[in-house]
Structure 1
Amino acid sequence: MSFNYRKWTCQLFMLAVLFLPASLYAQTQDTLRVLFVGNSYTYFYNLPQMVATMAESQGKAIVTRQSTVGGSHLGEHWNRERETRSRDLIEQGGWDYVVMNNHSMSTINTPEDFDKYGEQFVALIKQHGAQPVFYMTWARKWNPLMQETITKGYEKLVKATGADVVPIGPLWMKSIALRPDIDLYFEDGSHPSPEGTYLTALAYYRFFTGKSTSEIPDRLQTVDKDGEKLYLAIIDPNTATFFQQLVDSFDMKTLADDR
């Protein structure tokens, strides 16, 4: 019997076609896609990229994208003001989570709009197959008493909408109480410092994966468009260890589970 090369090649090709989609499907299922909607509290020191890089360092895939404008409220994102495309990106679908970062003073200065646009975004996100997640922000450095009002505003909204929340503000307050020597704030007393962003990113990594942060490097690196090494964070190793222990002992879903 002579060897039929053409028939063998055809059979080999059909086997490749048969098994390739399954592997691609598995890869897709293992990848989380997260859209961050918000303002400078999200883009300071590249929070979305830091979360993705932390995941990559642990062999996990989180694809992060952002729709951010400095100082913006969710109402501006909803109304497509200031050239925002947040609603368009959500409506395109394909996200597992959409994280909403409202203005840090919205629970205090505009509580009605805070509730209104939070509820509208939750409904839109759920409609397009993703899980809505609120980014609970922190009190300003000069007035930690703000945190109570911020926390209560998010508690109310989470219980009303069934969304999730990552309680970054309370996490920050605990860090400050335990280690006041570590400055989580940028020099303006509002935005996060590199350490503040690193702590926040650890919390999101744990929220999305459910895994310990203990093996996350204190130096996070990626590559630029030319393939050159680019550091997203360089944190003192002792500080990083403290942050990891703090995050791993902190219940990230307390508020969500209480709804």
Structure 2
Amino acid sequence: MFVMQTIKGDSLKVLYLGNSHTFFNDLPQLTADLALSNGDTLIFESNTPSGCTLGHPQNGHLYNSTSLALIDSIDWDYVILQEHSLFGVIDYYRDTYMYPGARSLDSLIKLNNECTETIIQLIWGKKYGGEHCINLSCSIEFEDFAHMQDSLTAEYLRLADTLSCTVAPSGVAWKQSILNGDPIELFYPDESHPNLAGSYLTACVYYSVLFQKSPVGLPFLAGLNPEDAFYLQQIADEVVFSDPEQWNINGNIPVAGFDITQIENTVLCNDTSINAGYYTWDFGDGTTDTIQNPTHTYYASGTYIITQEVSTLCHSDVTTDTVYVKLTNTSKNIISDYNISVTQGDDSGLFNIFSKYSEINQINIYSLDGSLKYSKYLNGIHEYLLDMNYLQSGFYILVVSSSDGIKTFKIPH
């Protein structure tokens, strides 16, 4: 389930750890300018040394003191990791440095703040594909850009799945534009780095992923002509939001939801939320619960709003539904087990306590804060009429001591 946000004025703190592919045309600032043009705020820091990798000992962010200090500097909302453009297609560098480096950096990010989300940038391939080597390790011979991009996409999605993190599918957006007939040149003359249009498309992807809002129609054009900028905005929107689950957008965020089955004055709540770790229910009559699928009985006619809040350690979501209760019986069975039943009579302050098998020896009434409100010693009887009219309206704890043991009930008055 994915819901695109529409509220303006969001503010995010984002750290970019990349290399020259992020440095070219100041990609973080382009993304911030896009956000600002829609009333959103992107507070960012970046470290993007040329040729930097995620986990290579010679030039990896994992070993870069600036990168490590930035990770620990504040509680980031997101940290974006951008790997060397060739590591994803050369087996040795992918398996030895890219995957282990991403895992280690993600662990450090979570160590600083377990609620920070890691985003993996899905980089684009070389303009014409081809074979590419680093030292003695080489990729396969790619037929063209699309062939190389498909390989990169598969590896980056596998990495993101391993880390359970979000993907920024910039390379997929580049592929879609190129397959559309390549109407706008995205590459710098070196056929690897982005020109301004390529960086703008990537910024539109970032804005869509970070703020979960469409970039289409945003007035910031970065100096591009309006037709080109609008086209690139549309490409980013289509790639990100046509299948957000593929990129794991909101993949770790809980979304509340439940169905209700009502049987007279009793409701059965069936949880349909996703990604929830904890549940809090408010039934609108002063009672709550924390189990996943609660059952609740109302003891007065009326309209009640049931509120479900689902949460994780980092996020929460709330939804509500309304039930209508009309009691038709003048006597209501409040609660019972195999032996003891408690029934509320026509006068809502009178309760009949009946023990089918054992003898009732004592009855205590406590308020919800634990204060004793009433105590009665009984001489082994099976039925007792309890008058609570002198107590204020609310919920109370009834403790019945019998020859069968001690039973506790929560009763309304």
Which TM-score applies when normalising by structure 2? 0.50
Give the CA deviation at 1:237.
1.0
Among 179, 182, 189, the residue aligned to 1:180: 182
Deviation at 1:177, TM superposition (A): 0.9
Alpha-carbon separation, structure 2, partners of 1:204 and 1:30: 15
Alignment match, 2:248: 257
Structure having greater relative contact order (Cα 8 Å, sep ≥ 6): 1
* Post-superposition offset of 1:44: 0.4
Partner of 2:32: 52
- How far apart, CA to CA, are the structure 2 residues paired with 1:132 and 1:181? 33
Match of 1:242 among 226, 231, 241: 231
Q: Select the structure that is richer in helix.
A: 1
**Per-residue deviation at 1:30?**
4.2
Taking structure 1 as reference, are residues 172 and 123 closer, same or farther at Cα in structure 2, changes over 3 Å only? same
CA distance in 2, matches of 1:119, 1:211: 28
Q: What are the residue-to-residue correspondences of 1:90-239 with 2, within 5 Å?
A: 90-109=71-90, 110-112=93-95, 113-129=97-113, 130-143=116-129, 144=145, 145-219=147-221, 233-239=222-228
2:14 alignment partner AA: V
Matched residues in 2 for 1:176 and 1:236: separation?
A: 19
Distance (whole Å) between structure 2 residues aligned to residue 133 and residue 66 of structure 1: 14
Shift of 1:92: 2.2
What displacement does 1:64 show? 1.6
Is the CA contact 2:208–2:240 (under 8 Å) kept in the aligned structure 1?
Answer: no
Letter in 2 for 1:65: E
- What whole-Å deviation, never above 9, does each CA across 1:94-130 have from its counterpart, x for those lacking one? 2110000110001122111111001111111122221
Q: Which residue does the alignment assign to 1:42?
A: 22
1:31 paired residue number? 11
Per the TM alignment, residue 45 of structure 1 is displaced from its structure 2 partner at its CA by: 0.3
Counterpart contact for 1:184–1:194, Cα < 8 Å: yes
Q: SS at the partner of 1:45?
A: helix
Paired position in structure 1 for 2:51: 71
Structure 1 stretches of 4+ moved >6 Å: none
Gaps of 5+ in 1: 1-28, 220-232
- Matched residues in 1 for 2:248 and 2:194: separation? 27
Say which SS state the counterpart of residue 43 (structure 2) adopts.
strand
- If each structure's strand is expressed as a fraction of its own residues, which one has the higher value? 2
2:389 aligned residue: none
- 3-state SS of 1:46 partner: helix
Q: For 1:34, what is the secondary structure of its paired residue? A: strand
Tell me, in whole angstroms, the C-alpha distance in 1 between the residues paired with 2:10 and 2:127.
Answer: 39
Q: Find the aligned partners of 1:140 and 1:93 in 2 and give their Cα distance.
A: 35
1:225 alignment counterpart:
none
Deviations 1:230-258 (A, max 9, x none): xxx21121111111122222235343339
1:25 equivalent in structure 2: none
Q: How far off its partner does 1:211 sit?
A: 1.4
Aligned length: 215
1:103-161 Cα distance to aligned partner (Å, 9 max, x none): 00011221111110011111111222211000110110011121122111111111111
Distance (Å, rounded) in 1 between the aligned partners of 2:110 and 2:156: 18
**Matched residue, 2:4:** none
Structure 2 unaligned runs (5+)?
1-8, 130-144, 252-413
Local SS of the residue matching 1:234: coil
* Structure-1 separation of matches of 2:230 and 2:37: 16
User: Does structure 1 residue 86 correspond to structure 2 residue 88?
Assistant: no
Letter in 1 for 2:108: L
**TM norm structure 1:** 0.78
Amino acid at match of 1:255: Q
Structure of greater Rg: 2
Give 1:218 shift. 4.8
Distance change (3 Å), C-alpha of 1:152 and 1:100: same
Q: What CA distance in whole angstroms lies between the structure 2 residues aligned with 1:135 and 1:254?
A: 16
* Counterpart contact for 1:122–1:163, Cα < 8 Å: no
Percent identical residues: 32
* Partner SS state of residue 87, structure 1: helix
Partners in 2 of 1:159 and 1:197 — Cα distance? Answer: 26
Counterparts of 1:217 and 1:126, CA distance in 2: 35
Q: Is the 8 A contact 1:212 1:248 kept in 2?
A: yes
